[in-house]
Amino acid sequence: MFKKLINNYDIISFDVFDTLVTRCFLKPDDVFRYIEYREDAEGFVCARKQAESNAFNRDNGLKCYEVTLEEIYEQIPGKYKFLKDIELEIEKKCIIVNPVGCELYLDAISKGKQIIIVSDSYLPKTFIENILHDLGYISFNNLFVSSEVNKTKRNGNLYSDVIQKFKKEKILHIGDNYHSDFIIPQEIGINAIHLNERSYDNCFSNHNSRVFQFFESNTDQSLLAKTSILAKMDLLRFRNEDENNFWNNVGFCYAGPMIFSFLKWIENNAHEKEITHILFVARDGYFLNEFFSKINSNISTTYLYLNRAIIDSLSNDDCNKEKYIKYLKSIVSSNKIMVVDVGTNNFSMQKFLIEHGIDCVGSYWCTGRDVDELEYSKFFKSTSIPNIDSFFGSGLIEFFMTSPEPPIVDVAINNHLLPIYASQILPYEKYRISVLQEMMVGIQNYSKYYLKYIKQLDFLFSSDDIINWNLFWLNYPSNEEKEEFGKIYHASDDEHVKYSPQFNFTSSVNKVDEIKTIKRYLVLLKNRLTRWI
């Protein structure tokens, strides 16, 4: 419909923010939250907002319709003034193409229309112009920016500058703000289209309404900055995809962030210890191994078939064990080795490798206990997250990270390792595999967004961040989530014969409890780790 309207006008005018471009945060203020988090500048969010308000209300003898970034930072406390250039740096990194506006822009270009751009912004005109050029918006005749002339769209003054240069009856303006981009231009005779892209509180009304509740109920600036970008990526994906499969969504929204946060921590840990080769242990290391090369291509990896069943089998077969160790040593040679698993209670795999001459350090999401004789690190360290029972009680980590393959009972060795799967695969297991295959599509999609938007901001999502991000749906599951997750069963025995529901939304998942002591936490964690080795 919008493209047909473009046909009727010679000049197409575009707004900038949330029209041609958008930020990779859910709200503009989240840029300030990210700066406060990254620069450890406590109180910056409040100070920055107050400085902007003060700049508008200052008495300098002139009527102030718009402020500049320079004027805002004149009003900010001295300890924050150095953040002005950092704010511009972050803005440049987090401003991205808005696909909806870009499509209309390209359509107008293809039809030979004149393009003008009109923006209300405190950012400098040259900065906005450079951003537009960097993002491919190079074909426009004029750029009108409010901070440059102390005139705005919201009171109509900036449009007065526009119609001094162009005949208003030939102009169609396109923008997201209902008042400034739709009502005001029409009042002065410029036809307009309301793009309706920005409304934060309506973004998830039919998609993920809990996000609004999550952001309104949290005050942790660091958590809000980090989860804001996850919510915005989900929103962009939701808008840009024709089909939204339930398990694809889960892979993108929840499994993807969990996997890549763990991978980023693994990468940093590996650099710190000068690791040259990483062994991702099957089956929980499957997705980790699949995606590690996307964030780091310099450290080699192997998906290693090693579990309790394989260790027991090798213990009873010296010939096969010799082949297995020979194979391992051919992989690792003289490299500095890291072994990665989601969790462990007895550190059996790390001990097995060390006992057979392969010196290695361990990296785990969490451990059931601590030991002094091994070198290892764990991603999860906090013990004071409200409702943490819901997270660990669900077994969500294992479910999100385990491989879409049957249970592995042994391994064959012939120059490389070949898994021997359980001979009997029950329907519960087959269904779980099919779900994980669907979920992987969402994780792959998330990886694209992560590499394109999140990685350059150098976010470090902690385990607490990821747990909190997942708790807001675990504690308030939708009917669809209850139904779909209710179909997931997991083996409760080593033989993979006895299966029970993995997710119970009527008991532990909805239980509100806060872990207050190390002892209480370890009891809970060990209950989840009884089948880890």
Q: What is the pLDDT of residues 300-317, one digit of tens each?
A: 999 999 988 899 888 888
Q: Return the beta strands (E) in 307-436 as ranges.
A: 337-344, 360-367, 376-378, 408-413, 417-421
pLDDT of 513 over the 60 cut? no
Greater confidence (519 vs 70) lies with 70
Q: When comparing pLDDT for 208 and 486, which is higher?
A: 486
Q: Is 311 exposed, middle or buried (0-12, 13-18, 19+ CB in 10 A)?
A: middle
Residue 377: count other Cβ atoms within 10 Å of its Cβ. Answer: 17
Most confident region among 226-230, 243-247, 373-377, 386-390 by mean pLDDT: 373-377
**First-residue to last-residue Cα distance in the chain:** 60
Instruction: Measure the CA–CA gap between 27 and 24, rounded to whole angstroms.
Output: 9
Is the distance from CB of 509 to CB of 394 less than 8 angstroms?
Answer: yes
Helices vs. strands in the chain: H and E counts, helices first:
24, 16
Residue percentage of the chain with pLDDT more than 90: 57
State the Cα–Cα distance between residues 493 and 287, nearest whole angstrom: 23
Backbone φ, ψ for residue 438 (5° rounding): -65, -40
Strands 191-194, 499-501: pairing is unpaired
The structure tokens listed for 195 are 């793009």
Tokens encoding 83: 């953040």
Least confident of 15-19, 35-39, 93-97, 415-419: 415-419
The mean-pLDDT minimum among 120-129, 234-243, 421-430, 452-461 falls in: 234-243
The helix (run of H) or strand (run of E) holding residue 501 is strand 499-501
pLDDT value for 523: 47
Cα 285 to Cα 279: distance, rounded to the nearest angstrom: 9
Distance CA 152, CA 443 (A): 42
Which among 131-140, 363-372, 474-483, 508-517 has the top mean pLDDT? 131-140
Asked whether the predicted pLDDT for residue 251 surpasses 50, the reply is: yes
Report the pLDDT averaged over residues 198-207: 48
Domain 2-201, architecture per CATH? 3-Layer(aba) Sandwich (3.40)
- Predicted confidence at residue 530, as pLDDT, reads 46
Mean pLDDT of 138-148: 96
For the question of whether the overall pTM of this predicted structure is more than 0.75, the answer is: yes
If DSSP codes are grouped into helix, strand and coil, which group holds residue 114?
A: strand
Residue located via tokens 């946060």:
261
50-54, 178-182, 241-245, 286-290: the lowest-pLDDT one = 241-245
Q: Tell me what the mean pLDDT of segment 12-22 comes to.
A: 96
As a whole number, the mean pLDDT across the chain is 87
Q: How far apart are CA 21 and CA 203, in angstroms?
A: 17
Q: Which of the two residues, 28 and 493, has the higher pLDDT score?
A: 28
- Band of the pLDDT at 497, cuts 50, 70, 90? confident
CA distance 251 to 198: 25
The pLDDT value given to residue 510? 38
Tokens of 146: 């409010």
Three-state secondary structure call for residue 347:
coil
- State the average pLDDT over residues 226-240: 82
Instruction: Give the HSE-up count for residue 33: Cα atoms under 13 Å, Cβ half-sphere.
Output: 20
Backbone φ and ψ for 108, nearest 5 degrees, come out as -65, -40
Can you tell me the distance from the alpha carbon of 531 to that of 533, in angstroms, rounded to the nearest whole number?
6
Say how far apart CA 521 and CA 517 lie, in whole Å: 6
Name the more confident of 527 and 266: 266
- 325-368 pLDDT per residue, tens: 888 888 887 678 999 999 888 999 999 999 998 999 999 998 88
| pLDDT of amino acid 368 | 85
Q: Is the pLDDT of residue 49 over 50?
A: yes
Percent of the chain with pLDDT over 70: 89
Q: Is the pLDDT of residue 495 over 80?
A: no
The confidence score (pLDDT) of residue 159 equals 96
Residue 260: what pLDDT? 96
Q: How many residues does the chain have?
A: 533
| pLDDT, mean of residues 396-419 | 89
> Residue 200 above 50 pLDDT?
no
Structure tokens at 79: 């300890």
* pLDDT score recorded for residue 242: 55
Average pLDDT of span 272-281: 94
What b/e sequence results for 466-499 when a residue is b if at least 16 CB atoms lie within 10 Å of its CB, and e otherwise? bbbbbbbbbbebeeebeebbeebbbbeeeebeeb
More confident residue, 204 or 325: 325
Domain with CATH 3.40.50.1000 in the chain: 2-201
- pLDDT class of 63 with cuts at 50, 70, 90: low
Q: Specify the pLDDT at position 23.
A: 93
- DSSP 8-class letter at 220: -
